[in-house]
Structure 1
Amino acid sequence: MFDRYQAGEQAVLVHLDFPDESTREDLTEFKMLVSSAGVTELTVISGKRGTPHPKFFVGSGKAEEIAEAVRLFDANVVLFNHSLSPSQEKNIETLCQCRVVDRTSLILDIFAQRARTHEGKLQVELAQLRHMSSRLIRGWTHLERQKGGVGLRGPGETQLETDRRLLSERMVMIGKRLEKVERQRQQGRRSRTRAELPTISLVGYTNAGKSTLFNLLTQSDVYAADQLFATLDPTLRRIELEGIGGVILADTVGFIRHLPHDLVAAFKATLTETREAELLIHVVDISDDRRSENIEQVEYVLSEIEADEVPQLIICNKIDNLDDVAPRIDRDDQGRPIRVWLSAQANIGIDLFFTALTERLGSQIVEKKLVIPPTAGKLRGILYKLNSIQNEYYDDEGHCHLNLKLPKREWNRLVKQEGNEIEQYVQLKP
């Protein structure tokens, strides 16, 4: 579709330091992204700027340096650790005479390599098409050429208009397919809710060790590797907890700083497992020097997908990489577990994890008895949708007596939505 240079696997890397923290990227993480994409790093061109250059993103002198490095190392792709505008990509490609790929496109490429399920492939393609649609104008050298010739004369649609229409039609079709998959997921969630199976979702920065912990807990063989985005497609398994019973454990895609918005939008359906969970297991690579920034980024993405109100249990993973750190449980002032220090790879402290998990889940279920007047039928319907009604009966005055059992998170959300007046219907259980 595009008149562009062909990308290869021999890359010149470009990284700039900016004073603004919101635009600053990490070079070590960028190199891991490049390695995860299967690309060979030839050299790194680095520098400092106050703001991006409007034409080349880097300065004109640095752009010439990049072009010289491409010729010197015989590279066939330039990878930027930043997001570029379509015009900046075009200008650098013209100067270097090779393909230019920015950070967003690189992450999308990794996701495309990792996708295994039908849903995952659809989500990645949708994200790629959204990203591509803003770059059509720089892909063609004949954008304004009208279609002509026998049998082709007509409305005079330009090549650019044709491509935009085809992309739009394809995105609509993928969106409909994903809606169908999402309905199937909702059906599965309803089945688990009816079976009273709480869901626990593993979240965390990419390469924090989520899949390794998941495999250890569930005796599964989910792909786990020391690379970014080793897990893309969500995996659900049932485990048994003493005193709790069956629990659904979900392994999800890892987060990363400045995760492309197209990806967040495309994966919202998948991340519903996170938003609807009773508890989030936030896995942190405690041996990573950037752990504080990683935690902040995970919290940011959780707020984007509206999962920031779900209770969390933090797992300080990879303690085997640190000196003199023993497995333990950290508790808050009420004695509730808030952090577990362990190593999934070395199978250290897993018994403490199960202890903390059992304690937290046991405190996440609330039981309520409500007496609802005939005028509050809407509330009764909402409670039925939540599958929280254990039993009910009506008294002689038409009041409905309900016994509820539901996650504490759902109860707090209900109080927030319906107002505090719902609490006036709560009766003290004898």
Structure 2
Amino acid sequence: MKQTTYDTASTVQDRAVLVSLITQVMKRSDTNHDLSLQELAKLAETAQVEVVSTVTQNRVSRDAKWFIGKGKVEELKAVIDELDANTAIFDQELSGAQVRNLEQVLNVKIIDRTQLILDIFAQRAKTREGIIQVELAQLSYILPRLSGHGKNLSRLGGGIGTRGPGESKLETDRRHIRGRISELKRQLEEVVRHRSLYRERRRKTGIYQVALVGYTNAGKSTLLNQLTEADVLIEDQLFATLDPTSRTLALPSGKEIVITDTVGFIQNLPHDLVAAFRATLEEVCEADLILHVVDSSSEMRDDQMRVVDEILQELGAAAKPQVLLYNKIDACTPSQREMLPSGPQVLKISAYNLADQERIRELIQQHVVGDTRTFCVPADRGEIISLLYRTGDVLEQVVEDEDLWIQVRLNRADYEKQGYLLDPYMQL
């Protein structure tokens, strides 16, 4: 058992020992265990929990009853008693029975990584959609564990793991929770319907859509704020912003596009959370262009990029045109900067640098502009003329009798969206 001790001067209510199990199967996977444990500490900090120690354990496989093995549980109890901790946070997901067994021996609150992330999302959700999605994810997580959780379900102590649905819901029986889940799914379907209508309106207007994606705390919200003068919350914490934000961005040509900041990704993002937030994450699937924001100063940069790529693959958005933005370049050492890759779809930037912001706009514009096409539109078809001005860059307009000959530089994706309207007027 490897133990690392931290400063204990803080007066935060929850004092936690972090616990991580590494099995032979986990060693053969792509999971970066050091990154995962570092993130767990950061997640705990975000949830206002004081981390007093970490404990890691290597085993061939997880113990079905005790997760880390009975002997290691006794050693963990000694650490908890010595440091006066009141919480144990496990980096892997626990079963209800494991939680009950660990509670009985350790006599502290038992939290796993999934529950910790859900708790943070419960703190961050502000919109009706976000609150519904978080509560649905929490109840879906709780339902199969009702028989396993002991003291945790009383929720009398407050603090980490107690936020979200609330005490009364957590103490109800399975029938009540299933009923609540059904009601939340119905409400979420209504939200999804409204979001789908909104997306359809955006498609019909021919507005080019860009999505900001990236690992949590990579600087997506900062970049959105700087590019569009938005007022999105910025904090040096994981999941500082949860609800997606869309803003209009003017390109150098004057054309306006919509750019959307999405929820940050993280290693081992809970499946219940991905399922509940699918309506939000599908904003990425609707985008014409993805800006993948990377924290270039992070030692775990490559692992973080891999996680983002895997989630994009899961969402079905991996084939979308993508630009890599290596952010926080000002925080890199000269050697780190030299190691960063280069390419036509790669920019090394600082979100606060005005010149870098302009480079981003210009690169987006390269994706927006496309082939030059000529259309002959009757002067009384104002809606078609307006559509051409919205979706492309009008290079020339000539009036001939009662027709307008309009030469437009039109992006292929934009044309594919509006082709059924524009085809009758296009001149070969």
> Under TM normalisation by the shorter chain, which class is it?
0.7 to 0.9
AA paired with 2:128? H
Which of 283, 293, 298 lines up with 2:293 in the alignment?
283
What's the CA shift for 1:281? Answer: 0.6
Provide closer, same or farther for how the CA distance between residues 321 and 24 of structure 1 changes in structure 2, counting only shifts above 3 A.
closer
Note the residue ranges of structure 1 that are not aligned, 5 or more in a row.
1-6, 142-159, 332-336, 370-387, 389-403, 414-424
Q: Over aligned residues, Cα RMSD in angstroms?
A: 3.3
Distance in 2 separating the partners of 1:169 and 1:263: 19
CA contact (8 A) 2:98 2:148 kept: no
Provide closer, same or farther for how the CA distance between residues 330 and 366 of structure 1 changes in structure 2, counting only shifts above 3 A.
farther
Q: Does 1:130 align with 2:135?
A: no
Q: Which has the higher helix share?
A: 2
Distance in 1 separating the partners of 2:119 and 2:61: 27
Q: Which position in structure 1 is the counterpart of 2:109?
A: 99
Q: Which position in structure 2 is the counterpart of 1:44?
A: 54
AA paired with 1:14? V
Aligned pairs (5 A) from 1:239-388: 239-243=249-253, 245-324=255-334, 325=337, 330-331=342-343, 337-345=344-352, 347=354, 349-363=356-370
CA contact (8 A) 2:206 2:414 kept: no
Which of 2, 6, 16 lines up with 1:11 in the alignment?
16
Secondary structure of the 2:280 match is coil
Provide closer, same or farther for how the CA distance between residues 311 and 59 of structure 1 changes in structure 2, counting only shifts above 3 A.
same
Which of 56, 66, 80 lines up with 2:66 in the alignment?
56
Of the structure 1 ranges 23-32 and 248-257, higher mean CA displacement relative to structure 2 is found in 23-32
AA paired with 1:358? Q
Provide closer, same or farther for how the CA distance between residues 306 and 410 of structure 1 changes in structure 2, counting only shifts above 3 A.
farther
Identity percentage of aligned residues:
39
CA contact (8 A) 1:244 1:362 kept: no
Q: Which position in structure 1 is the counterpart of 2:158?
A: none
What's the CA shift for 1:193? Answer: 2.2
What's the CA shift for 1:348? Answer: 5.7
Provide closer, same or farther for how the CA distance between residues 347 and 105 of structure 1 changes in structure 2, counting only shifts above 3 A.
farther
Secondary structure of the 2:137 match is helix
Provide closer, same or farther for how the CA distance between residues 242 and 57 of structure 1 changes in structure 2, counting only shifts above 3 A.
same
Distance in 2 separating the partners of 1:278 and 1:287: 28
What's the CA shift for 1:270? Answer: 0.7
What's the CA shift for 1:366? Answer: 9.4
Secondary structure of the 1:281 match is strand
Distance in 2 separating the partners of 1:407 and 1:77: 55
What's the CA shift for 1:180? Answer: 1.1
Which of 224, 227, 249 lines up with 2:234 in the alignment?
224
Q: Which position in structure 2 is the counterpart of 1:33?
A: 43
Aligned pairs (5 A) from 1:65-214: 65-139=75-149, 163-214=173-224
Secondary structure of the 1:237 match is strand
What's the CA shift for 1:74? Answer: 2.0
Note the residue ranges of structure 2 that are not aligned, 5 or more in a row.
1-11, 152-169, 376-390, 392-407, 418-422
CA contact (8 A) 2:100 2:150 kept: no
Distance in 1 separating the partners of 2:416 and 2:71: 58
Secondary structure of the 1:190 match is helix
Provide closer, same or farther for how the CA distance between residues 140 and 291 of structure 1 changes in structure 2, counting only shifts above 3 A.
closer
What's the CA shift for 1:346? Answer: 5.0
Secondary structure of the 1:112 match is helix
Secondary structure of the 2:361 match is helix
Distance in 2 separating the partners of 1:165 and 1:255: 33
Task: Give the TM-score taking structure 2 as reference length.
Answer: 0.76
Provide closer, same or farther for how the CA distance between residues 406 and 34 of structure 1 changes in structure 2, counting only shifts above 3 A.
farther
